[in-house]
Amino acid sequence: MDAGTLIVTLRTIAVSGVATALSILVGVPLGYILARRRFTGRTILLGFINTGMGMPPVVVGLIVWLLLIRSGPFGGLELIYTPTAMVLAQFVLATPIVIGFTTASFQSLSPQLSDLLRVLGAGRVRMLWLLAWETRLGLLAGVMAAFGAIVSEVGASMIVGGNLERSTRVLTTAIVTETSRGEVERALALGVMLFALSLAVNVLLTVVQQRNRP
Amino acid sequence: MTDIRFEDVRFRRDGRDVLSIPSLHIKADRVTAILGPNGAGKTTLLRLIAALDRPHNGRVLVGGDIADTARRSVSLAFQKEVFLRRSLLENLMLGLTIRGADRGEARDRAMAALRLLDIDALAEKRVDQISGGEGRRASLARALCLHAPVLLLDEPMAGLDGSTYARLLDELPGLVGHSGATAVVVTHNPEEAFRLCDDIVILVNGRVRAAGAKREVATNPQFRDVAEILGYTVVNVSGRLVAIPDGALTLAAGPTELAATVDTVLDVAHEWHVIASIGPTRVHIRVPRSEAPPQSGAGIHLSARVKYEVS
């Protein structure tokens, strides 16, 4: 593997890894609240979130691009064509997936379980942690689905990142570039790299998920 | 020395009062049964003490503190036992570590509770691998190991089969007594209440119908519903409602004679079962096989050894 491929691979891990981590931080608590609270409009909201789980990356990319370009409302932040912009777009793609899986997972737990934990004296954070661990099969499935979706998307990264060789080129956009240049062998090598990365992450998470299988 | 007080408590669900208790004192260091039919609000009462629900009106005091702030002095064994998907030992240790014990101490106390209930051999088993009776024991062990000043048991005997039931009913008074806690036991079975408890609170439709030491509550029921919950037969005698204790209604002469008409005679192995009418009330009478069966439609005289008038 040459230095260029290595850098692109590491950048892919960094961008999609940070986006996934942020989507967990935001999505798990939101999914937990959606699973436990009853309020008007909840079902409609869940419907939107479930739709969000399958949003076309190109459209999300376009919207984030419109927000971040110079003339856009957040143009002053000068984030367009940076890895941060890519993280942002991927975060928007990943979060509904995490929320959807989290809500379904927590709802599958017995409602008595939270009563039990309250009686035992668990506070809010501890309760969330214990219940999350209890339903980690579903939660980690959500994390894998989210990471899998954003590490393999091209459209959003291309639009908001700009596929700049030195700063925003990731494995998927690199494959598009090499293929259009006729460098099929390099494109294939990058494809293998992407596949290996995805496999490694998923095997790791699956091991955690299935350990002491509930 | 932790007592429980209900002051002007009302709890609503779906716009309906499910519990309405102007005043109730559950005494410290005694075992109190909450006795009542299904849907009387017994579990709701426990949930208010455990601060799982908040009253819409009034307050529940545990040892003088609002139930919400006294949560850690309460432990509750749910009617339908629920566990985390971990080993039995870890399930018991969890509550102890949440309440501040270090892991070593938690392990010791959890094991002691498992031994007390004779299920220490199951300590490393996952909870989905144990039987229903063992699950009930595990649930009790978890409630007991916390050594909380207030111990709440919701139908601890429900759903157990014959021999398991008999064995636990034998053991439970000792276990509860040994805990030294102020105990509240919810049940719909008067026999369990008498066996387990010092005091009885009778709850019907979310209201306290009788409360006090079990002898007082049990020997002179004032109301028809209370008498029926305690296992009395309530019959109408010349326009008065009379409560007769279980087994005190027999054929033949006795202190009080009641005239009845035989409706049905059932043949059951060792005795005749006679269903008779006294006014609009129908009663069951058991007659030894040594006597001839009364004829259907015949008038008979019943005697009640003890009776109480109720309203």
Q: Which residues contact A147 (CB under 8 A, 6 or more apart)?
A: A16, A17, A20, A94, A198, A201, A202
User: For residue B75, what is the nearest residue in chain A, using CA coordinates?
Assistant: A119
Is the pLDDT reported for residue A212 higher than 70?
no
- CA–CA separation, B87 and B83 (whole Å): 9
Helical segments of chain B, H only: 42-49, 88-98, 103-116, 132-145, 162-179, 190-196, 214-219, 224-229
Query: What does the pLDDT look like over A56-95, one tens digit per residue?
Result: 999 999 999 999 999 999 988 999 999 999 999 999 999 9
Residue A101: which of A57, A149, A145, A148 has the closest Cα? A145
Domain count across chain A: 1
Dihedral of the CA atoms A10, A15, A17, A20 (nearest 10)? -160
CB of B52 less than 8 A from some CB of A: yes
Task: State the residue range of the domain holding A157.
Answer: 3-210
Location of structure tokens 């030195």: A166
Q: What pLDDT does residue A213 have?
A: 58
Residue A34: what pLDDT? 94
Label residue B253 by pLDDT band (50, 70, 90). low
Which of A36-45, B5-14, B87-96, B214-223 is predicted with the least confidence, judged by mean pLDDT? B214-223
Residues 252-281 of B with CB under 8 A from A: none
**Residue A29 pLDDT exceeds 90:** yes
Q: Please classify residue B252 by burial: count the beta carbons closer than 10 Å to its beta carbon, then call 0-12 exposed, 13-18 middle and 19+ buried.
A: exposed
CA distance B196 to B185: 8
Identify the pLDDT of residue A209.
84
Q: What one-character DSSP code corresponds to residue B126?
A: B
In order of their start, the domains of chain B are 4-218 (3.40.50.300), 232-310 (2.40.50.140)
Distance of CA B105 to the CA centre of its chain: 33
d(CA B206, CA B42) in angstroms, rounded, equals: 8
Q: Which of A113, A120, A134 sits opposite B98 (nearest CB)?
A: A120
Q: Is the pLDDT of residue B66 over 80?
A: yes
Minimal Cβ distance to B76: which of A110, A119, A130: A119
Mean pLDDT estimate for chain B: 88
CA–CA distance, B241 with B195 (Å, rounded to integer) = 28
At residue B254, does pLDDT exceed 70?
no
pLDDT, one tens digit per residue, over B110-154 is 999 999 888 999 999 988 888 888 898 999 999 999 999 999 999
Is A110 an interface residue toward B (CB < 8 Å)? yes
**Would you call B90 an interface residue with chain A, using a CB distance cutoff of 8 Å?**
no
Average of per-residue pLDDT across B98-115: 94
